[in-house]
Each structure stands twice: as structure tokens, then as C-alpha cells.
Structure 1
């Protein structure tokens, strides 16, 4: 039997203290029937004598059977089993597989999403596997039943997690999410939180939220009594279906909420459109050093200076002198920019370069193969500003005074409303704007903050009349808290 890789199975086995904590809460009586929809090596089902486990990996399933010989273990796809079974459970506990959408695909994915659609839950194409796992599991819980699961911290910010939370608040009388800053799995870059639900068949207008520095069996049972009730309507409207902001102090949230609800405030998207730069498909081929372009005789009219990496950008403004320095250093920053209509008028020097060994290799790249003609890089624009989309301390907003273009390693910003953009630029270096970037962006492994274009459009600029009320120290403290939670040192 061949074991599935961790990447494909999402199998990261849960520490015993976490297992015992979740199972102890989920089980009310020895007779309770408990389900683990992805039982792995059997740690959860071994903790309760009346358990059923499902496991797709044959070796893990065999280990689970040996560890919990009293349990019923089904080897196979959970979503197939969940669609066909008539059995219902008093509770469920486990650690559903965290398989990203790139790997969670094919027939298994379609079965999962089809089952969820039949239950009224529509997941986006970017949904990872754990969210459909929990919807399908919740459907198998008896009225009044409970669930206790380890979940990725993405439940606090990922758009695809919102349909899951909407389903849970509509089908359980209590939903409690426990955020844990210290890693539950020391060897895994992914942060994990805990999810408790009870009262299947009920509904709730609030989400109980608790933020803990560390997990310990003593402070994670019950689940923890400390925390606050988050209004579902506030979660939807003010926080854009995100729970991450609730790791901050209430005073910071109160100031941010006041700005978000004020008619005089604006979002970055009110001032400009924000999008990714071009995708060449073969960066090393399409970006030439000045010395190579001169040697080949490529006409300068077909070469466009390009920002290839956000780290190369200065703090506030990209000037022509900076681009000239890049070229003087012979950096590969000249994009070979060939319009689609140039086919019949290709200069001889360009044709020779396209037909070179490097050109023959470049045209094999996927992005080059699927476009016509292969050598015409699409979506080459000259934005008004550049925005770095991955950062440690803060994302830079840099005016494009050099007329450069950019790859998809940075975002291009095109101004729609000059007056509104002026407010964005003036506010960009304030603590409030830094906090907004933390709230509207999302954390990545290694402590980085990522801003997708849709997230960047939501960066909030407070109304001018609110500025005297905004305490910069409160904002700065909140930024520090958010950075600590994404493990930026």
C-alpha cells in the first residue's frame, strides 16, 4: 500500500492534548456516537469507544484500526460515504484535512462541492478541502448534537470560509471559535484554531470568539469562558466576514468601526482601480539587460522599463533617475513589448531573438503556448502607482514618475478620482492606514502580509472630521498585535 503524501492527503496528526480536549468536550455520555470524518491514524476515535472514522489513505486507515479496534473505520472517500450513509451521530470531532484548492480537485472535489450545494452552501473555486468537510459532517449530526474540530486559522479571514460560518450559524444554536496565536503544530507553518458548535438544529445571531496566546488543556476545555459575542450582522458588514480583527483590543475596533460607518470615509477602491501586473510566462526571456538589447540590436521603441520585484521599489516615488540607474547597472529590466499586430512587421533583430534557442525554449512555457502570438505579452500597462502586495512591516505605495510597467510581483494602481487619491496618499503612512492594511489583508507563512487586489480596494481612509478622535497610540498598538498574530518578528 502506498501512503498519500502530506500535500495530497492534508494529514498532519493532532497532538494528544488537543485530541483529548476536543473529545472530552464533544462527548456527553459514553453512549454518544462520535464521527471523525478524516480519522488519519485514529487518534480521535481511540479516545472514545463508540466511534466511526473515515480515512482515504489505506496505511493510515490500517493504523487507525489497530489503534482503535473497537471503532468502525471506513477506508475511502468521505464525501462518497457521507452522500450514501443513513447513519447520524451525536457528535463529531477531528482535524479535517487541509488541502489547498490547487490539490483538492477532480472527482473528489466535485463530489464535495455537489454535496455542499445540495445543502445550500456554495463554495468558491478557491475553497480548501476542510470547509466542505465540516459542512458535510454537520449534516450528519443529530438534532442537539455537537462538533469540535481543529481548523486552519484561515477560518478567520479567507473568503471561502464565510459560507461555512454562515451555514454553522444557521444550523447550530452556538458557534464558538477559539483563536490560538502559538502554533498547535510546531512543525507546520499553518496556524490552527479550534471550532466548537453545539445545538444542531438551532440557529444563532452571534459568534462566540476567544483569542488565546497559547493552547493548554486547562485553558482550552469547556471551551474557554472568556471571549466575546460577535454579532453576525457586524461580522458581515463591518468586518467583511472576517474574525481576525477580534484579536485586537476593543478600543481599536471601536475606532475602526466608527470610521468604516462614517459617510465621509472612503476606501482605496473609491480612488483607484488596483490590479496585478502582466504575466510574461518566461521572465528571463522577455526581460533583457541593456547590454544584451544593444548587442542584439533590439529597437528601443520595443523595450519598456519594468518593475520586476517590489523589493526594487524606492519608498515613495519611482523616478526616471532610478530606472536609469537600473539600466546603468545592466539589470534585466527592459521588457520586450511586442504588440499583437506587429507580426508582419517584426524587425529582423527581434525575429532572430525569437527564433534563438532561448526563444524556442520560452515558447514552450504554458502562458506562451496558450496565447497568440506567443511572443506578445498581454496586459502591459503603465500604472499611476505601484503597490507592493507582500510585505513584512508595511505595504509600499509608490508613485510611478518613471512611466514604467510592472510584472505581477507588484500591483498596478490606476487613479480614477484625483482628490480621493490625494487623501489615500496623505494617509498612507499613518498608523490607521497601517492597521487597515492588516485588517483587510491576510497573513501568509513566514509572517508576511499579503494584499490581494480586492483586499487592497477595501483599505480604509477615515473621514477628516474623525481624525482628532483617532488615537495614534491605540492604532499603533493594534498594528503590533496584528503583526504578532501573523508571527512577524
Structure 2
């Protein structure tokens, strides 16, 4: 990886931070000393406490790699906006000393006082001076005086990232012209805010969740990076770098702040943190729209071009063209509302108290259909194939069950207490097709011949009237092709345990065979249906896909498509094994 020519010009220190040796208002103690924090700040910094504020400390191979990339002169001014216990600041100190700086001074921000005190001590031991402000980074007004900003921003999911802190973060991003949705996790605004501390031409090196590549809420961040930096590079890992965290990570290397837009990105592949010292495989990638998902940058242009050609030629269309995909029902307490036949018999409930239900989860949806017979078999095995949803006046048995639920506190669950009466689950009509949303291999479409209701562990697909008959008959079968499998990896999102998740908005964009192609190849598809069903029953997904590919007679470079899908799926599989 090439670096720009090191600069030797003096960089002014922003007024927000003190010069070497100064006491800094708002800091705990003074610069460069092993300070003691006040008694009320000495709460132990446990793993649970760090996770709550989104702090996951970074392996030294990564801190050193990013420091070496971002810091190119002994005169570089360095900021770490999420200092933690100074892993990055120590690496930056060592880098600056290697470049000739004596007792380099670096700036940082850390919200946790005990960590800030530890950071000052560690930097002093490394031969530097740490000016660390104990504050919420979003409270600090950007002053663009830094050559390099580096670190590992806090990762707090939107469910826990709320209130004043969320409002501050969104205002900070808006200051840069970036509007973030309410679903954005903490790192998104942090990344944008951190960039505003760079002087023109500055560099930013961050550890970010791999969500950067794929989630919808990060679209504005992706566009911001391409628009504002002259160069954007990413380092992807085949294995998990933070086994204790719930998300995979990428390394962002953004150079030339204010000199954008960048016309392309460079994607580097590394096996793990230890392999960063070796020569990395790299690929240049030019997105049509930088705000779109960046997953395509991992697989090269041939496979992406094939998908585009099939879509443009009308052979494939989005799932949204077929119909609407929606979330399933939320009961508030599946253990109370989802019942097995044996439990129904034990409670003495009537058929009027119940609705047919696809059991919680999606493990039973690995074939092509969910039929009444299959549902009965699941019930005989103890699965919850009934939804407690009484209509009209409560029967005596239903009344007893409601009272038992109330006594057990079921009515206090959030989804229960916000509806009246608490025991009536808001209904979603039975869908034409069921779509699995959490997948170890690939999302599955299943024809809902049982007419079962579904919970939010799966999605429902409601076909347009003109496509309903054809779609119920053949779309789940036809969707088991190499192109659709690859595109699922591209529109979905991979989680740390190797799971591929697809949400309704992502499913809307998912490429599946078009109605025209399926109608054209209907006889061939029906001819392989039993073979495909048998292969799926034996867990031989890829053999089933080969049979469907042949039936569809796709005029495409399937070799590149299959290789691309294998590459993306293998990355998930490796991380799944590492997470066990």
C-alpha cells in the first residue's frame, strides 16, 4: 500500500486542546501524569460497563497498522476521539518517536474518567504526553487542526443509543451535512464528526463495524466518505477480530480530507489481525453510487456485471416487483401466545381461541412449501403451531388462561401493555410466501399452503394479484439459483456469528427470476421440483441450486457468479467457526 509523501510543515494545535505542559480545563488531573481520579469516578471498568458504552479495546496489530498508515511525519498532529486506555495513542506515540519526535504530545477524548487516567499514564510510559479531555466527543465543537485522526469509535446499537446522546450525535452529523436515520448506531455519527477535526488533506484511520458496507442507515456515511476524501481504502478480515463483540469490523483508511470526491476505493483482504504485516490482496472498485452498499467491492466486476445484465434484460427482477414483503407479528411473549397442540389440549382451549401458526423460528422452513400436513407433523413433534388469539366473548378456558397470564406478568411486557386488551395480538394476514430472515446458508422462500400466520422470526411476501398463482407455484423453487444466492449475500448483512440477515427493505431489492422467465421455463422447473425437494431434504443446497440453474437455462457467466457467492459465504462461514 503506498503512502503519500510525509509532510514536515507545522500543524497548529486546535484551541480546544492544550499545548504540551499546559493544564487543560475539564481534564482529570494534569497532562502526562499518573493521575488519580476522584472516588466517585473509581467504579470498576468491567466488560459489561465497556460494552454498555460501546468500548471494545483493539488488538495491538491493528493499532500499530493504523498508526503507521496515518502518521507520516514527526510534526503530525494526532487526535484519538475515543481514547479508551490509549491503545491507539500508545501506537501513535511510538510511531511519532520513530519519525524523530521527542516526547510527542497527542490529543484524545474519553468519556470514562478511569480510562482517561490510565491512558495518560500509558502514553507517558511510552515517552509521550497525552492531553485527554474527559467528555462526550459529541459535545466538542470541531476545529480542523489535525493531520491524523485514528481510533475505534464506540459501537452502540440504536436500541441502546437514545435520548440526549442520540440527539447530540445526529446534530453533530448534520453539521457536516449528513442526515442520519433513527436506526443509526453510534459509530455512524462518530465517524462523520471525527472527520471534521481534520485539516485539509488530513487522514482518518478507524476501526468500524462492517455495517458500513451494507446497512441502509450508513448510506449517508458512505457518500460522505467518497465525497469528502480524495482516497478511500478498506481492509476486510476473513476472521473475526473482536470475538467478544457482536459485529464484524473493517478498517477505514481515508486520505486527503476536503480533496474529494474519490472516484474509487481500494479493498484489501486480510485473514486476521496478525496477517496485516504481510502483503495484502487488493482490488480497485468504482461504485456507480457511493451511497449504495459496498459489498460488491469484495467480489470484482465480472459477477456484478452479470447481475446487472440479467436485470437489465428482464430475466431477473426485484422481489418487490412480485409483491410486498413485510414483518411478521410481534406477540410480546411467544412462550405465552404460541402453543403446541398438547398445550392447547391441556388448557382446554377451543378452536375459536386459536389461529394456525408457523412455529417461532425458521428451522422448519428449509423446503419449498409449508403444507397443512407438514404443520400437523410439526405439531405432533411438540412445535407451537397455534396462536392464542381468542375472538368474541372469552370461553371459560380462555378466561382462565388470560388470568394466568396476568398473574405471571405477561401483560407487563412492552408490546402487551401498549395494546387493549393486552392478550389480543395485532394480526397480520397469512402471506402467500414466507421468507426466512436469519440464515446460515441463504434466505429461503416457502409457499404457505397451510395458510398459517407468521411471527416476526420470518417475513411474509404478499404477491401481486397478477403474479399470485405463478409465484405461489414456482417462485420459491426458481429462487434457488446461483444469481439469487449471490445477490442475497450482497443485499443482506452478515453478522459476527456467520448469520446472513435480510430485512424487508433489503428483500425488496433482492434479485429473483422475473415472472416472464419463470413463465417461460415453467415446464422445466416443474420437472425438477421433486428432485430439488429431495436434495433440500438431504441438506444438499448447492446440488439443488445446480438443478434449478439448469432448468432456468441462464445465459450467464455462472462460474464467476458462483465464485463470488462462494467468496462471500465462505467469509461468513469462517467467522461462524471462529465464534464458536
TM-score when scaled to structure 1?
0.90
2:389 alignment partner in structure 1: 337
Aligned-partner Cα distance in 2 for 1:178–1:261: 32
Written as runs of structure 1 = structure 2, the 5 A alignment for 1:378-457 is: 378-416=426-464, 417-418=467-468, 421=471, 424-457=475-508
Structure showing greater Rg: 2
1:185-221 residue CA offsets vs partner (Å, 9 max, x unmatched): 355453221111122222124231313132534347x
Between 241-250 and 466-475, report the one with greater CA deviation.
466-475
Counterpart of 2:250 (choices 193, 197, 202) is: 193
Q: What is the deviation of 1:144?
A: 1.5
Are residues 1:19 and 2:63 paired?
A: yes
Mapped contact 1:285–1:358 kept (Cα < 8 A): no
* Equivalent in 259, 270, 275 of residue 326 of structure 2: 275
The Cα offsets for residues 111-167 of structure 1, whole Å up to 9 and x where unpaired, read as: 111111122111111211112111111111111111111212111112222211211
Structure 1 partner of 2:108: 53
| 1:181 maps to 2:229 | no
Distance 1:483 1:365 in 2: 37
Residues 314 and 13 of structure 1: is their aligned pair in 2 closer, same or farther, counting only changes over 3 Å? Answer: closer
Question: 1:60-459 residue pairs with structure 2 within 5 A?
Answer: 60-69=115-124, 70-81=129-140, 83=141, 86=143, 88-214=145-271, 215=273, 216-219=275-278, 226-231=282-287, 233-236=288-291, 241-308=292-359, 309-313=361-365, 315-339=367-391, 342=392, 345-356=393-404, 360-416=408-464, 417-418=467-468, 421=471, 424-459=475-510
In structure 2, distance between residues paired with 1:452 and 1:12: 27
Deviation at 1:55, TM superposition (A): 0.5
Could you tell me whether the CA contact under 8 Å between 1:304 and 1:405 is conserved in 2? yes
Equivalent position to 1:44, from 88, 98, 111: 88
RMSD: 2.4
- Inter-partner Cα distance in structure 1 for 2:290 and 2:311: 13
Once residues 19 and 306 of structure 1 are traced to their aligned partners in structure 2, the CA distance between those partners, rounded to angstroms, is 50
Helix, strand or coil at the partner of 1:446: coil
Residue 395 of structure 1 aligns to a residue whose secondary structure is coil
**1:9 touches 1:57 (CA, 8 Å); kept in 2?**
no
Bigger shift: residues 207-216 or 170-179: 207-216
Is 1:470 the counterpart of 2:556? The answer is: yes
For 2:398 and 2:196, the matched residues in 1 are separated by 61
**Is the deviation greater in 352-361 or in 297-306?**
352-361
Which ranges in structure 2 are unaligned for 5 or more consecutive residues? 1-41, 94-103, 521-551
- The count of residues paired between Structure 1 and Structure 2 equals 475
Change (3 A) 1:321 1:358: farther
Residue by residue over 1:281-335, the C-alpha shift from the partner in whole angstroms, topping out at 9 and shown as x without a partner, is 1222222333443454422133112112211235111111122223344543211
The CA distance in 2 between the partners of 1:453 and 1:119, in whole Å, is 30
Distance 1:348 1:462 in 2: 51
What stretches of structure 1 of length at least 5 have no aligned partner? none
TM-score normalised per structure 2? 0.77
